[in-house]
Amino acid sequence: MFFFLKELISSLLHNKVRTFFAILGILFGVVSLILIVAAIEGSNLQANRVIKKLGPDSVLIVSGAIGKGPKGRLRNLSLKDVREISKLEGIFALTYGIVKPTTVSSLSSSKFSAVFGVGENWLSSWNYKIEQGRGFTLKDFRDLKKVAVIGHDVSDFFWPGENPIGKVILIGKTPFRVIGVYKKKGKTPNGHNLDNRVFIPYRVYDKTVEKTYDKVSIIRFRVLDTSNYSTIVEEVRAILLKNHSPNDFTLITPVVVKKFLSMLSATFALFLGIASTTALIVGGFVLSAIFYVNVYTRQWEIGLRKALGATRKKVVIRILSESLVVAVSSAITGSILGILLIPSILESLNVPVVYPAKAFIIAAIFSVAVCLFAAYFPAKRASEFNPVESLRRKIQ
């Protein structure tokens, strides 16, 4: 066994040019396969992250058409929409919000934060977990209490290492009492900081931060039974279309997110899929041709091996083993190149950088399959060589 391997490697090293081109032929296919699988995995991951953030049973309505700049500034939606949606059956955790980047200050310092005027349920609907203090009560909304729930970045900025509950901050010029701090949420997939936020009741926002004229930027609700999902989404769409033009809003559901994100990767996947399949097939042909030429140039060697007692099977195994070494070398080199190329390629596609084991395994399997398939025909041919004629072929 050891001798077999040693002999095999010597033969491949002896003919470096052949081995090099055989590996090169397969390499392109391997690399592009790794990239395509990594890109698909990356965009799936992104989609799943977004859906997880969004909540798989939730529907989000934002102002403006999708993919058209920052939506936070637009206020196409209104409390009227909210009221009408609230009458639908089968939904819960309906909430809404309006946002404006605003200066928040204490006595000694100030910072810019995203200040949200929010409806009831906002915190629970978006899964903000209260870490210190409390969330909003109905009383806060009814009595227009000037209270705020803040993110970690805000509390750490003004009161590092202190308990912020009960402290006072100025939002614009109005003093608010901090009633709660929510657990760290980190960043959105697009890099927005979720911990530099201040939430206050919507009506209070209207009186203090800016006049809202009953406009909102975002409406969100959840669906009790996800099997009714599409019916409810259509009912909501009907309400919105009655009040607005189709370009004024976007209904974001997990289905839409999936579709949108996979639309990007589908075009890319198709492109790379065609490229890598072509590369692999071409590589397979190149390998096959190289091996054909090779078994003929060393036909005497195969004749000799037969004279020494090699059976057909041994000849086939021998040549397939050579192609297997080529396949493994291509897979290893391709994986290294893949690891080097994944960051730049995936970043340029706005896909989170991932190194899925699946990509490397699929590429390795394909590389081996193509190599074995491509080498099989020359190997078969070689095994059928007539030994006497083959021995006479020796080029002296």
User: Which parts of this chain interact with other proteins (CB under 8 A)?
Assistant: 3-4, 6-7, 10-11, 13-14, 300-301, 304-314, 387-388, 391, 394, 396
The nearest distance, CB 386 to other proteins, in angstroms, is: 8
Nearer to other proteins, 107 or 395 (CB): 395
Residue in the structure block whose two tokens are 């019916």:
231
Which residue, 291 or 300, has its beta carbon nearer to other proteins? 300
* In the complex, least distance from residue 264 CB atom to other proteins, rounded to whole angstroms: 50
Of residues 197, 224, 254, the one with CA closest to residue 53: 254
Whether the CB-CB separation of 164 and 106 falls below 8 Å is answered with no
Measured from the CB atom, the residue of 15 and 48 that comes closer to other proteins is 15
Beta carbon of residue 25, minimum distance to other proteins (angstroms, whole number): 22
Q: Report the alpha-carbon distance of residue 221 to residue 184 in Å, rounded.
A: 22
CB 375 within 8 A of CB 287: yes
Residues 6+ apart with CB under 8 A from 37: 356, 358, 359, 362, 363
Which one, 357 or 395, has the nearer CB to other proteins? Answer: 395
Give the shortest CB-298-to-other proteins separation in angstroms. 9
DSSP assignment of 115-162 equals EEEE-TTHHHHTTPPEEEE----HHHHHTT--EEEE-HHHHHHHSTTS
Of the pair 146, 393, the CB lying nearest other proteins is at 393
- The distance of closest approach from Cβ of residue 265 to other proteins in the complex, given in angstroms and rounded to an integer, is 47
- Write the DSSP string, 59-113: EEEEES-TTSS-STT---EEHHHHHHHHTSTTEEEEEEEEEEEEEEE-SS-EEEE
Q: Nearer to other proteins by C-beta: 3 or 213?
A: 3
CB of 272 to other proteins, least distance (A): 39
